[in-house]
Structure 1
Amino acid sequence: MAGRPRMKDVAAAAGVSVMTVSRVVNGEAGVAPRTAARVEAAVRKLGYQRDDVARQLRRTD
């Protein structure tokens, strides 16, 4: 992996879907605690940081 890690990189490392990573990163319900822990460990290991600028561009009001 070159450059900044993306959600799909975290998903692959944790063995989950990108949607599951999104739910964990955004603090949404519906993710089992053990799964969330795997995602959080992958986030720390890879140094993933949410891109709030990109998030604002995708957001619709």
Structure 2
Amino acid sequence: MSMLDKLKGLLKGHEDTARQGVEKAGDAFDAKTGNKYQSQVDMAQQKINEQLGTDNPQNNPPQT
């Protein structure tokens, strides 16, 4: 069993909380770096949400 499978099992039923955590962590990283890596952070957030099965559309699209 891969690490991702273990994480999925632990997060089952808590997808919204996991998505909020991913967003909050990405926002904190953006704040610390002055949005220097915003597009990469947004892409990573999207990929993580896809892997966790919580790929919900964001209210605000990534800014370039």
Alignment TM-score > 0.5, same fold: no
TM-score (norm: length of structure 2): 0.40
Structure showing greater Rg: 2
Higher helix proportion (structure 1 or 2): 2
